[in-house]
């Protein structure tokens, strides 16, 4: 599968960097946004590939129970853009299309013929070894069932679910109990549910973000997912006003309450173009939210690449905030700092953000949580397959 290279872009240097980022994404990679059917066909070829070509080996057990409460109201669930998250905080919205039928499509038949040994895995603290998952935000053209099938074929332990997949699934009549059965069939856990919430644009939008978090938290509680992913702020921390900081902190506090009611956690992703984009802004955010919360209530999702694109060193942030980090994202690129649209996604140990050092540090600290591979574009599954193989090989050949 060939990667598509975007043309060079010339942008007005007077624009704020976050705006330049958005323009690059909209213009430079617009062809990827438009290629939804080719992307789906490309991903399905990997779903239907013979098992030995994917190298699937380590697949996990499922949630302990198949019983779940009824489906939550999903009319206001967060929706996300097609292409972003890998590069910059989004300002676009993407509405998943509603299928013509309410019948839940079956999993590709070839998966029923697999005969593989399924090792035990768990989300419980203290379980040995890192676990691996895929962010379904990069597979918006596939159905939830197809995403789960792909994750099983890749030998992953879990799937980090985009809330849009849950919304579309519910629109077809799927319930949390149905999803639990699907997860059990594919032997997958859900380490996080990913929404697109920011809390900083306005009081009314912050209120809607809290509602979206509450809805996602109900799904999380039903399927045994421990956390909801959120963003903190819709623009770079250095560009935010005091009022926006205050609004985001207040909204995050309310979202924490909504998650607490369902027995799940709220985790802010470390991401360029948000209030969580530098070590100093992370400290300020945790401190501001922590003024009215118990220490450690707000979790962090670590993504070293999101720091690297802003020319920041990822490793010091990992070391400084490790106590708050409960989940990790991996992706990497051959990166063009001068024109982001010319950058090329590559397997995670072949890129420029030095994930070997990140892996070494995580293992040295005994990290035994999930790492989610987070790619976008037409090669999501192939990049995930190669990345997972590289990481397993690296961990098997090296020691702390």
Give the model confidence (pLDDT) of 73-120 as tens digits: 333 333 333 333 433 333 333 333 322 222 223 333 222 222 333 333
Average pLDDT over every residue of 136-163: 97
| DSSP label of 341 | G
Find where tokens 């003024």 sit.
Answer: 291
Taking the alpha carbons at both ends of the chain, their separation in whole angstroms is 36
Q: In DSSP terms, which residues pair with 104 in a beta bridge?
A: none
How many whole angstroms separate alpha carbon 258 and alpha carbon 91? 24
Q: What is the structure's pLDDT at 15?
A: 54
Is the per-residue pLDDT at 336 higher than 70? yes
Give the model confidence (pLDDT) of 214-248 as tens digits: 999 999 999 999 999 999 999 999 999 999 999 99
Residue 344, number of CB atoms within 10 A of its CB: 14
- Residues 120 and 61: beta-carbon distance below 8 Å: yes
How many whole angstroms separate alpha carbon 168 and alpha carbon 251? 26
Q: What is the structure's pLDDT at 46?
A: 46
Average pLDDT over every residue of 272-291: 92
**Top-confidence residue, 121 or 173:** 173
Give the model confidence (pLDDT) of 365-377 as tens digits: 999 999 999 999 9
Complete domains list, the chain, with CATH = 17-99+106-397 (3.20.20.150)
For residue 55, name the pLDDT band (cuts at 50, 70, 90). Answer: very low
Q: What is the structure's pLDDT at 288?
A: 87
Mean pLDDT of the residues in the chain: 77
Q: In DSSP terms, which residues pair with 269 in a beta bridge?
A: 301
């Amino acid at each position: 599968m060939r990667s598509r290279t975007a043309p060079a872009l010339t942008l007005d240097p007077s624009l704020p960097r976050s705006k330049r980022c958005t323009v690059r994404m909209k213009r430079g990679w617009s062809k990827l946004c438009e290629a939804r059917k080719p992307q789906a066909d490309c991903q399905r070829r990997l779903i239907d590939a013979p098992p030995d070509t994917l190298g699937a080996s380590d697949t996990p057990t499922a949630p302990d129970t198949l019983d779940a409460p009824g489906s939550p109201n999903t009319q206001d669930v967060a929706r996300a853009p097609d292409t972003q998250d890998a590069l910059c905080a989004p300002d676009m919205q993407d509405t998943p299309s509603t299928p013509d039928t309410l019948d839940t499509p079956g999993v590709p038949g070839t998966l029923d013929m697999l005969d593989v040994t399924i090792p035990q895995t768990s989300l419980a603290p203290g379980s040995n070894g890192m676990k691996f998952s895929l962010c379904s935000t990069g597979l918006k053209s596939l159905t939830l069932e197809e995403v789960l099938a792909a994750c099983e074929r890749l030998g992953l332990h879990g799937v980090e679910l985009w809330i849009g997949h849950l919304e579309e699934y519910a629109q077809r009549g799927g319930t949390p109990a149905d999803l639990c059965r699907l997860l059990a069939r594919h032997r997958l856990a859900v380490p996080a549910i990913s929404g697109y919430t920011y809390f900083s644009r306005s009081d009314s939008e912050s209120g809607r973000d809290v509602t979206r978090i509450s809805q996602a938290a109900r799904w999380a509680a039903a399927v045994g997912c421990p956390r909801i992913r959120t963003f903190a702020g819709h623009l770079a921390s250095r560009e935010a006003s005091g009022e926006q900081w205050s609004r985001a902190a207040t909204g995050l506090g309310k979202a924490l309450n909504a998650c607490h009611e369902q027995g799940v956690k709220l985790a802010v992703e470390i991401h360029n173009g948000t209030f969580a984009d530098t070590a100093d802004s992370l400290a300020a955010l945790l401190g501001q939210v922590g003024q009215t919360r118990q220490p450690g209530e707000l979790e962090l999702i670590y993504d070293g690449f999101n720091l690297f694109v802003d020319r920041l060193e990822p490793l010091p942030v990992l070391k400084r905030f490790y106590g708050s980090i409960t989940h990790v994202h991996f992706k990497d690129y051959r990166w063009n700092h001068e024109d982001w649209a010319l950058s090329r996604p590559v397997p995670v140990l072949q890129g420029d953000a030095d994930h070997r050092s990140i892996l070494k540090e995580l293992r040295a600290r005994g990290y035994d949580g999930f790492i989610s591979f987070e790619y976008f574009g037409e090669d999501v599954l192939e990049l995930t397959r190669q990345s997972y193989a590289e990481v397993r090989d690296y961990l098997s050949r090296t020691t702390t």
